[in-house]
Amino acid sequence: MTDLRTELGEAVAAAFAAEGVDAGLARVTVSDRPDLADFQSNGALAAAKALKLNPRELATRVAARLDGDPRLSAVEIAGPGFVNLKVAEATLANRAQVVADDAAMAGASPVAEPRRVIIDFAGPNVAKPMHVGHLRSSIIGESLKRLFRFRGDTVWGDAHFGDWGFQMGLLIVAVGDEADQHPGANAFLAEGDGPFPHESPVTLEDLERLYPQAAAKAKEDTAFRDRARKATAELQAGRPGYRALWRHFVAVSRTALEREFAALGVTFDLWNGESDADPLIPAMVEEIKSKGLAEFDQGAWIIRVVEEGDKRELPPLLLVSSEGSAMYGTTDLATILQRRREQDFELVLYCVDARQADHFEQVFRAAYKCGYARPGQLEHAANGTMNGADGKPFKTRAGGVLKLHDLITQARDKARERLREAELGTDLPAVEFEDIAAKVAVAALKFADLSNNRTTSYVFDLDRFMSFEGKTGPYLLYQAVRIKSLLRKAEAQGVLPGPIVIAEPAERELALTLDAFDAAVSDAYDRRAPHAVAEHAYRLAQSFSKFYAACPVLAAGEPATVGSRLALSKAALDQLETALRLLGIDAPERM
């Protein structure tokens, strides 16, 4: 199935080719003057220069070739040589009908060659509370996961759980220092093979309290830091009590995190941890050394990654520290090996904060050098940050990082408040009202994020995100609910959708918007930019709103018009819900 722009693009390219112009120059774009035309081609301007022709003259000849194409109702020349195209109403109606009948993809098309894709996103860490820094990666990664899957790829979303390294040693020592407060803790701290208690000696609250304390203490207290280092080394070497205790840390954290992610509509197919890649590290390091890909430098093993043409010098990847430890980059390299074996990926997208760009560049170059992936198979889909009004990464009023849990609670409170103000959902049962508030909260947070470019930072402003007016998630939900209520009313009256006919300007515009979904989806896919889908969702909601204001549906009178408008409304809803789902947003049935 092709969209109108592609289809007309082919016709225009053929007309240019017949005039001896390279078809590559004859692009068709959506008109920037929708009052005059639907699509336009500026090809004559570029081509005339190359052929030393008068652009208006060339445009006139191209237009003459297009004249009479039954898909077009008007072909006109404008300005210095633009070719303006107006699509025939029957063509628009046909295309809208195709979209309306496409239950699976609402007019979007699948990829030609599906791939096996891993989306590495969110990257939560054991014991460290999730904060707003993890928010964008979670929201963007979830959306890309859905988008790639929607277009037919085989996709694994992986949380890449930060469950290994120094912070684990810190926790072990911190629990040990207050073991008398944690029933059963001593059993884990003793040397030997156990048995160890099945109950966790610590709760999530314990971990979230202990981790920041221990991290701060380690900065000042060298003896404490050394004990934590030793505990880390012993854990990694397999000391049974430490392993058993660590498994509790991981389980307690993961359970809480999954609950939090679920509240945000974020799920994972894999919860592989950094620890899972650990067993691969010794052999990997040996192999890299034996192939001469690593260098011994000031007591450490490094992989040099500078390439010709680099504008600045990228530091080498630290493979083994001078203390003999594997590093963050080592783990990521081993994870690539693991994924190569387990998923045999064709693409890995790392949805991680832009501030980790150098790290990923080092890892990717090292991986290509070692032959663990082919160039182009690893990609950092970097994101900007969510900032406070001061332009710095968002902090709470008290100056701390905002925990995701608190953010969700705040968003739900605000959603309830706004719904009550607008008298939406207030007459519904309490359980349903709660569900609506939760959906509005998620829509507000996610849409605010995804309506920005992935790489740009934006300012957190819950009041604005939560408004039912303007370019917001709540506005989109409101429009979706409005269509649902219209469809329910139609059903109650026994009115059925009929064949689509396009007559009014607002119907034209809605049909053109429905047509544009395919391009928005493939653009979002190609650029890893859910933003393009967010833009489309907003444009669609607006087109529908205009249509609904200008064209009565159930009160249209003529049964054929009622049927057609109902079908258009249903197509708009299906596409809007599809777009929202790609953004990770669910619309309620009513509000």
Site of interaction with ligand ARG (CB under 6 A):
120, 123, 125, 160, 162, 332, 350, 352
DSSP 8-state code for residue 503: -
Q: What's the alpha-carbon Rg for the chain, to the nearest Å?
A: 29
Instruction: Compute the least distance from the CB of residue 545 to ligand ARG, in Å.
Output: 40
Nearest-approach distance from CB 390 to ligand ARG, in angstroms: 23
d(CA 481, CA 275): 45
Nearer to ligand ARG, 186 or 356 (CB): 356
In which residue are the tokens 């920005």 written? Answer: 452
Q: Are 73 and 89 in contact (CB under 8 A)?
A: yes
Nearer to ligand ARG, 168 or 519 (CB): 168
**CB of 346 or CB of 432, closer to ligand ARG:** 346
In the complex, the smallest distance separating the C-beta of residue 123 from ligand ARG, rounded to whole angstroms, is 3
Nearer to ligand ARG, 219 or 355 (CB): 355
Q: Which is nearer to ligand ARG, 381 or 506 (CB)?
A: 381
User: What minimum distance in Å lies between the beta carbon of 252 and ligand ARG?
Assistant: 17
Instruction: Give the nearest distance from C-beta 210 to ligand ARG in angstroms.
Output: 18
Q: Which is nearer to ligand ARG, 274 or 574 (CB)?
A: 274
Residue closer to ligand ARG by CB (options 42, 137) is 137
Contact 437, 417 (CB under 8 A): no
The arrangement of strands across the sheet holding 116-121 comes to 154-158, 116-121, 347-351, 378-380
Shortest spacing between CB 356 and ligand ARG, in angstroms = 7
Own/partner contacts of 50-56, CB < 8 Å, gap of 24 or more, are 50/21, 50/22, 50/25, 51/20, 51/21, 54/81, 55/80, 55/81, 56/80, 56/81
Find tokens 């009550």 and name the residue: 420
Our CB check for ligand ARG shows the closer of 123 and 563 to be 123
Least Cβ distance, residue 125 to ligand ARG (angstroms) = 5
Nearest to 204 by CA among 251, 264, 262: 251
- Least gap, CB of 164 to ligand ARG (angstroms): 10
- Least Å distance, CB 350 to ligand ARG, is 6
Does the bond joining 279 to the residue before it have cis omega, within 30 degrees of 0?
A: no
* Torsion from C-alpha of 359, 364, 366, 371, nearest 10 degrees: 160
Bridge partners of 83?
Answer: 41, 77
Residue with Cβ nearer ligand ARG (352 or 524): 352
Whether 136 and 181 have beta carbons less than 8 Å apart is answered as no
**Is residue 445 within 8 Å of 411, Cβ to Cβ?**
yes
Give the residue from 187, 189, 206, 207 showing the smallest Cα distance to 198. Answer: 187
Q: Which is nearer to ligand ARG, 336 or 415 (CB)?
A: 336
The three-state DSSP-derived secondary structure of 263-314 is HCCCCCCECCEHHHHHHHHHHHHHHHHHCCCCEEECCEEEECCCCCCCCCCC
Whose CB is nearest to ligand ARG? 123
Least gap, CB of 160 to ligand ARG (angstroms)? 4
What is the closest distance, in whole angstroms, from the C-beta atom of residue 416 to ligand ARG in the complex? 32
Q: Which of residues 339 and 482 has its CB atom nearest to ligand ARG in the complex? A: 339
Nearer to ligand ARG, 211 or 478 (CB): 211
Q: What are the two backbone dihedrals, phi and then psi, of residue 177, each rounded to the nearest 5 degrees?
A: -70, -20
Amino acid at 305: V
Question: Among candidates 116, 115, 120, which has minimal Cα distance to 364?
Answer: 120
Work out whether the CA dihedral 443, 448, 452, 458 comes out positive or negative.
negative
Cα 383 to chain centroid distance, Å, stands at 10
Least separation in angstroms between residue 338's CB and ligand ARG is: 11
Close Cβ partners of 127 (under 8 Å, ≥ 6 residues apart): 167, 171, 207, 208, 210, 211, 249, 253
- Can you read off the two tokens belonging to residue 205? 């609250």
Which residues contact residue 426 at a Cβ distance below 8 angstroms, ignoring those fewer than 6 apart? 419, 420, 433
Q: At closest approach, how far in Å is the CB of 360 from ligand ARG?
A: 8
- Of residues 349 and 512, the one with the C-beta less far from ligand ARG: 349
